[in-house]
Structure 1
Amino acid sequence: MVSYMKKSLGSIAGYGNPDLLPPAEYLAESLCHEDEEVDNCTGCLDPCAEHKEYPSYLNIEMDFPILGSVKPYGRHIIIATGSSDWAKKIEQEQGTFAYSLSKAESNAIQSKTWKNLVTNSSLVSVHSTVTDACDVLILPDNILVANVTADKANDFYQLFVQTDLPTEPIDIDLMKDDSRLGQMKFFKNPYKKLILLCSHKKRDKRCGVTAPILAQEFDHVLREKDIGEYDAAVVMVSHIGGHKIAGNVICYINDGTRGVWYGRVKSCHVRIIVEETIINGKIVKDIYRGAMDNSFEKQVKKSFLKW
């Protein structure tokens, strides 16, 4: 009865509506099995003895429809911190770039029609050479900015966040002459594809527990298929919304211009995500939550629920 009510409420709110799916040509074909004990999405027995299960105490929401649960956003700023867990709200931790960037955005005179997603990440700042600086990835611009410091947050915001969303690849050489850059340098994103796992345990333990399990399985499958780190990097990130439907995964493909969100991801789903999304660019609809704005032509955007 409770399960039925949750599904009904979700349908009333517009969740689960097939119109929110990408065009049919982007959808992966579901596996077909006559055995009711085999999951048509993963091909695994239910319950599965091959892949690591999540602890039962996590209380993951399994009934409410997740299709349409991604809040619309136009740009994703990913800050390298070298950690996999952070303060509960990264924008409130003084002294960090996330804090300074949040202040810069709130003080901006000109606002944009889209929202920006800002997350910390486990990436290490290998390109920065300035003390207390960090590397920052920006998508869909598909660039990496190095030597970013908290005191340059306003310049960073004006140069890279407040600008119009790109409609073609960024001309890096053209931007290098801007005096506001200071010591900041930027490069093309070195990662062809990204697999982001929400691991923000201080925000919600479900993401903190599920992410390491998923990371281990992603590493296993990627190594098996001889896919290197710069071909598909597995990265831990801070809160993205959806801890009730952990594990939460974002796959950035097509040179960072297509962001595909999955929810209720289990280790059983990892192989099909790698094979269908990372390799073939297809969407696994059973676990699909939504996508970054402009990922698909005529994309329908809908999200009212606050996870």
Structure 2
Amino acid sequence: MVSYMKKSLESIIGHDNFGLLPPAEYLAELPRHEDTEVDDCTGCLDPCTEHKEYPPYFNIETDFPILGSVKPYGRHIIIATGCSDWVKKIEEEQGTFAYSLSKAESDSTQSKPWKNMVTNSSLVSVHSTLTDGCDVLVLPDNILVANVTVDKANEFYQLFVQTDLPTQPMDIDLISNDSRLGQMKIFKNPYKKLILLCSHKKRDKKCGITAPILAQEFDHVLREKDISDHDAAVVMVSHVGGHKFAGNVICYINDGTRGIWYGRVKSCHVHIIVEETIINGKIVKDIYRGAMDNSFEKQVKKSFLKW
């Protein structure tokens, strides 16, 4: 029955629904190999002996198409916690900013035509000076808000979440004069590019297995190419949806305005992601899940698979 449902879904969606891809000029042109033992996407031999593999018991879901599996969203809120795993549902853990922000959103009488995505992250709050404050990244606004506390969740929501999506770089000096900020401080996002890895083991153990292996390989490739942490930061994050597609990777480039999602990522894919996406700003089609709203012109904002 499950197999029949998968096949039925595939027949509706189709593996080659190219209308969900970004414009052709954004797609990476990867070399094609006549040798059947060489993977066209990764360039590695199959099986690969150079890159670390996932454990033998790890089963990568291949029945569902990944293209179009990203639920549309307009803004991503990334909370610095210094951890790489969290309770199963971060919005239900009382006393945390994720919980307070979720409550602020549910209490709000205003709604927007897009979804806001909230994740915890392994980032450490280096800009906050309050003992109970944390750093929060806001994309595509491309800002970092410091000294964010639980009791300021409503003000944070009003200032940075329910506002219209930006069409130009934020005027930090202007918004810094808003009295609702209190002790919150605004900075430009210190990371030129972000590589987010879902590591939420308590939500799904697959993400807890894939993220550390991918992080090690990303660190290796970035160092090899002399790319610093501020040029491209590798960050563990909580549940992003689609754990069946682990390893899940989100790359934010173009000053945080373009969010590119990859699924079924193996360590063999890392070098091509760094070269084509982080450096060249291109999309690796074979592992592409979708993108943040407004990442590309004429982007189809459609998701077939729910979170």
Shift of 1:56: 2.6
Shift of 1:59: 2.1
1:216-295, aligned counterparts within 5 Å?
216-295=216-295
Q: Paired residue for 2:113?
A: 113
Shift of 1:47: 1.3
How many Å separate the matches in 2 of 1:126 and 1:258? 25
On the 8 A contact 1:11/1:65 being kept in 2, the answer is: no
CA deviations on 1:150-198 (whole Å, 9 max, x unpaired) are 0000000000000000000000001011000000001000000000000
Q: Could you say what secondary structure the match of 1:58 adopts?
A: coil
- Stretches of structure 1 that go unaligned for 5 or more consecutive residues are none
Pair 1:129–1:261, CA change in 2 (3 A): same
Whether 1:104 and 2:104 are equivalent positions in the alignment is: yes
How many Å separate the matches in 2 of 1:191 and 1:158? 24
Whether 1:61 and 2:86 are equivalent positions in the alignment is: no
Whether 1:162 and 2:147 are equivalent positions in the alignment is: no
Shift of 1:305: 1.4
Letter in 2 for 1:261: W
1:40-51, aligned counterparts within 5 Å?
40-51=40-51
Shift of 1:4: 9.1
Shift of 1:13: 3.5
Pair 1:63–1:233, CA change in 2 (3 A): same
Cα root mean square deviation, aligned? 1.5
Shift of 1:26: 0.3
Q: State the 4+ residue runs in structure 1 displaced beyond 6 angstroms.
A: 2-5
1:12-23, aligned counterparts within 5 Å?
12-13=12-13, 16-23=16-23
Letter in 2 for 1:241: G
1:32-43, aligned counterparts within 5 Å?
32-43=32-43
How many Å separate the matches in 2 of 1:14 and 1:181? 48
How many Å separate the matches in 1 of 2:7 and 2:302? 17
TM-score by length of 2: 0.97
How many Å separate the matches in 2 of 1:259 and 1:202? 25
Shift of 1:7: 5.2
CA deviations on 1:180-217 (whole Å, 9 max, x unpaired) are 00000010000000000000000000000100000000
How many Å separate the matches in 1 of 2:151 and 2:124? 20
On the 8 A contact 1:10/1:16 being kept in 2, the answer is: no
How many Å separate the matches in 2 of 1:7 and 1:167? 41
Pair 1:40–1:3, CA change in 2 (3 A): farther
Identity %: 86
- Stretches of structure 2 that go unaligned for 5 or more consecutive residues are none
Letter in 1 for 2:89: K
Pair 1:3–1:216, CA change in 2 (3 A): farther
On the 8 A contact 2:70/2:290 being kept in 1, the answer is: yes
Whether 1:28 and 2:24 are equivalent positions in the alignment is: no
Letter in 2 for 1:135: D
Whether 1:134 and 2:128 are equivalent positions in the alignment is: no
Letter in 2 for 1:133: G
How many Å separate the matches in 1 of 2:190 and 2:146? 12
